[in-house]
Structure 1
Amino acid sequence: MTDVRSRTTLRLAAGAVCVALLALPVPAAQAADAARTADDHPATRAALETFQAKAGPGAAVHAGDGTDAWTLSAGTGTVGADRPLQADEHIRAGSQTKTFTAAVILQLADEGEVNLDSPIEDYLPGLVTGNGYDGTRITVRHLLQHTGGVAAFAPDPLINAPAPNPDGTYDPAALVRMGLQLPPVAAPGEDFTYSNTNYLILDLLIEQVTGTPVHTAAMERIVEPLGLTRTVFPAPGDRVLPAPAVNGYHGIRVGGLYVWVPALSFDPSLFGGSGALISTLEDLTAFYRALTAGEVLSPAALEEMRNVQVVNDAGSGYGLGLMRLDLSCGGVAWGHTGGILGYQTATLVTGDGRHASAVTNALFQVNRPDAELRTLLDTALCEDQPQDS
């Protein structure tokens, strides 16, 4: 695979679901035979079916060990049809976008254009100020790691979005101002609070430093060099989910009863570098594998990205746009989760080549199946591994 850092040098010469998944206990691993076909992963299939029974109309997991890959699906990608979800179909990745955005920032740090420990005030004077915020004390690192004390905020087109522009797009500075209307929850550096506002600020930092908006920078620096042909960071105004696609839904589940309606259409500029990415399970896997293999950042920048803030007693943590989760079979996995209108997603990879990427085509505001998703990912990564004693 082409080294993104090399191609970039030649050219210059990328909710709450995250926190919930990090905080969950790790399920017990189940031993299994090492050589199997896709249909011979009974523990993962059982975990997938349990997840889907509490999730959207359909669910899928794409997993493998670095040599072979396989996909399991349950339910349907289109209500009213028998249409299993496929690993090469487009989905909205939600907050997995944050890892792409963070990778752009860390490339800029590699190039000497951004200092992770400089205050955001140095780059965006006057943006993060007032209502208890002091941009001279909140650093770029704080924003990447959600440790600047910025209050939790996730824009919603029906509940808490600012007025759109006449063309239906959203101004990122207006989104930031809305997020900062909520007072700080901690002093900078004292605590972890997951907030989309942090990454909306980083969008503006990328544009200030590069002269290009985040969607352009992420495509040119990350997506295109890695050959992620089914990954799109949509520009403002581009609301289309490319075909083939898994359809997203809103819905409710009460016991065995459920109702699904198509997910609300929204403009990607509402989420920007915090959640606008469109991708596939296959492409998301390829991205995280390339990132953790050192094909996107320098070794020093990757080490910075993996320097986590521990967020629970189990030792799981959040780095600079990258999550670390401890596995039941021993070792750790790296990746991110995502939740956006119509979709809940997650991707994890390990240092020895194992990977698991999952999706369901609905996002619940209450009774979200975070525990079942965590079990699914852990099972897919650990089913063929010996139990950690």
Structure 2
Amino acid sequence: MNSTRAKVLGLLVATGVLAGAVTASGAQADAPRDALEQLVKQEKFPGAVLVTQSTSYTAGAARFGRPGPPPVNGRVRAASNTKTFVAVVVLQLVAEGKVELDAPIERYLPGLIRGKGIDGHKITVRNLVQQNSGLPEYTSHIGIDDYEKSKDRYFEPRQLLAVALAHPATAQPGQRWEYSNTNYIVAGMLIERMTGRPLAEQVTKRVIDKARLRDTYWPRVGERTIRGTHARGYGLLKDGKTVADVTELDPSAAWAAGQLITTPADLNAFFAALIGGKLLPARQLAEMRKTVPAQMWPGARYGLGLVSTELSCGGVYWGHGGDIPGFETRGGVTEDGRQASVVVTALPGTFGPANGDRAHAAVMSTVDKALCSGGKR
């Protein structure tokens, strides 16, 4: 799942995201490849992959401490990129007249959203998918930071919601933007209630199949492994010092907020299909692109499950990004056809906690360099 990193502005300047435009001439043409190499050499990620609309690069190793590069387009846990898939389904239901964006969630899930300062009559569907509902963050209270205890634990969505609702609201609906995975647990429940079908089926049928994503799938109940070719992911254990292989885990703690598995190329194809108008009618896509400032990274604005990020060379790119034990993904697409997805096989700071913000800034810089040095499709 995702985390906000409000302290990286100076680091982004230092690593080049805000330092000026990157062109595709001379030595700058190698900027994306060089940046990817630095993710391994300087920021100590075990492996890193960059996939654009026209080329792919890898750096490091598929397994820490062993020879052999990461697969060029191996599968990875999508983490919070899942939110955009779920938001697309919600907006498809809006287009079908089954859901209203500005209707209270109480209309669709009566009696469910209740707690201290929490009232489903006041929280709209838009509040959920735009992350300004004030619902507390369930992930802070279920112990997922202890990999050894949580990796085999299965959670029902109702359990996750119950954990959140046991804590008071963090703000009034619409008062401020505040990232909470709980919003998307409720959005997933909304989809299941309004379709009468499992969320996994609806995301697969309405988004994955429609966008022709060949390597993206929703893990089966209890499925802990990643199917097919993939690099290993690494994370810190509870002691904050020991690094372990955390590739295998039960992703049910993420559910609608981050359970999907995908590839860098499929992420590019998904966001390209979305921004290209292939997954939503124009009216709903326009709603999705109505953004508010978001404390994720400099230049980020949050729409309805979709993030725009300023480019150093001008304009913005559209994507989301995701963090989950073992993997971080960042990237997106521009309206003129440029695409870039970066995957690293550990969360920033895993191999040096003091450098977590700097490492994250370096990942973002790599995306920026790839998009600013890449031509149109």
Deviation at 1:225, TM superposition (A): 2.1
Letter in 2 for 1:17: S
- Report how far residue 97 of structure 1 moved: 0.5
CA deviation profile, 1:277-335 (whole Å, cap 9, x unmatched): 10000111000000000000000110011000122696530000000001110011000
1:185 is paired with a residue whose SS is: coil
Seen in structure 2, the aligned counterparts of structure 1 residues 292 and 209 have a Cα distance that, compared at 3 Å, is same
Q: State the secondary structure of the residue aligned to 1:329.
A: coil
1:48 aligned residue: 36
Judge conservation of contact 1:30–1:43 (CA < 8 Å) in 2: no
> Residue 51 of structure 1 contacts residue 372 of structure 1 at CA under 8 Å; is this kept in 2?
yes
Aligned with 2:100: secondary structure?
coil
Q: Please state if 1:380 is matched with 2:359.
A: no
Q: Distance in 2 between matches of 1:204 and 1:212?
A: 10
Q: Kindly indicate whether residue 17 of structure 2 is the aligned counterpart of residue 17 of structure 1.
A: no
Q: Conserved in 1, the CA contact under 8 Å of 2:6 and 2:298? A: no
How far apart are the structure 1 equivalents of 2:113 and 2:7? 29
Letter matched to residue 289 of structure 1:
A
CA distance in 1, matches of 2:304, 2:72: 27
The amino acid that maps onto 1:297 is L
User: Cα deviations across residues 341-370 of structure 1 (Å, max 9, x unaligned)?
Assistant: 110101210000011100111124644322
How far apart, in 2, do the equivalents of 1:250 and 1:351 lie?
A: 35
Structure-2 change in CA distance of 1:41 and 1:341 (3 Å): same
Of all paired residues, the percent bearing the same amino acid is: 38
**Structure 1: stretches of 5+ with no match in the other structure:** 1-14, 253-257
Please report how far the alpha carbon of residue 240 of structure 1 lies from its aligned counterpart in structure 2 after TM superposition: 2.1
Within 5 Å, give how 1:48-87 maps onto structure 2: 48-52=36-40, 53-64=42-53, 69-87=54-72
Alignment of 1:63-142 (within 5 A): 63-64=52-53, 69-142=54-127
Unaligned runs of 5+ in 2: none
**Offset at residue 229 of structure 1 (A):** 1.2
User: Structure 2: which amino acid aligns with 1:46?
Assistant: D
**d(CA) in 2 for partners of 1:324 and 1:374?**
13
Query: In structure 1, which of residues 185, 188, 192 is the aligned counterpart of residue 177 of structure 2?
Result: 192
CA distance change for structure 1 residues 348 and 55 in 2, over 3 Å: closer, same or farther? farther
Structure 2 residue matching 1:184: 3-state secondary structure:
coil
Q: Secondary structure at the match of 1:324?
A: strand
Are the structure 2 counterparts of residues 269 and 380 from structure 1 closer, same or farther at C-alpha, using a change threshold of 3 Å? same
In structure 1, which of residues 177, 181, 188 is the aligned counterpart of residue 166 of structure 2? 181
**Contact conserved, 1:309 with 1:319, CA < 8 A, in 2?**
yes
Are the aligned partners of 1:94 and 1:276 in contact in 2 as well (CA < 8 Å)? yes
- Corresponding position of 2:218: 233
Structure-2 separation of matches of 1:203 and 1:31:
40
Q: Is the 8 A contact 1:87 1:282 kept in 2?
A: no
* TM-score scaled by length of structure 2: 0.87
Offset of residue 131 of structure 1: 1.4
SS in 2 for 1:154: helix
Is the contact between residue 29 and residue 383 of structure 1 (CA under 8 Å) also seen in structure 2?
no
**Superposed displacement of residue 276, structure 1:** 0.6
Q: 1:87 to 1:294 in 2, by over 3 A?
A: farther
Q: Which moved more, 1:129-138 or 1:174-183?
A: 174-183
The offset of 1:201, in angstroms, is 0.8
1:172 alignment partner in structure 2:
157
**CA offset at residue 19 of structure 1?**
5.3
Provide the secondary structure at the position in 2 that maps to 1:177.
helix
**Residue of structure 1 equivalent to 2:273:** 290
What is the CA–CA distance in structure 1 between the aligned matches of 2:200 and 2:47, rounded to whole Å? 29
Matching residue's letter, 1:350: T
Shift of 1:268: 2.3
SS in 2 for 1:204: helix
Alignment correspondent of 1:220? 205
| Aligned counterpart, 1:360 | 344
CA distance in 2, matches of 1:157, 1:212: 29
The letter for the 2-side match of 1:262 is: D
The amino acid of 1:371's aligned partner reads A
Taking the aligned partners of 2:310 and 2:145, their CA distance within structure 1 comes to 35
4+ runs of 1 displaced by more than 6 Å?
none
Residue 151 of structure 1 contacts residue 193 of structure 1 at CA under 8 Å; is this kept in 2?
no
| 1:98 Cα deviation after fit | 0.4
For residues 326 and 364 of structure 1, the distance between their equivalents in structure 2, rounded to whole angstroms, comes to 21
CA contact (8 A) 1:152 1:193 kept: no
Distance 2:118 2:225 in 1: 37
Q: How much has 1:71 moved relative to structure 2? A: 1.1
2:139 counterpart SS class: coil
Q: Which moved more, 1:232-241 or 1:81-90?
A: 81-90
SS of structure 2 residue aligned to 1:84: coil
2:19 pairs with 1:28:
yes
Distance in 1 between residues matched to 2:153 and 2:24, nearest whole Å: 53
Quick one: distance in 2 between partners of 1:140 and 1:21? 30
Q: CA deviation at 1:132?
A: 1.2
For 2:168, what is the secondary structure of its paired residue? coil
280-289 or 22-31, which moves further after superposition? 22-31
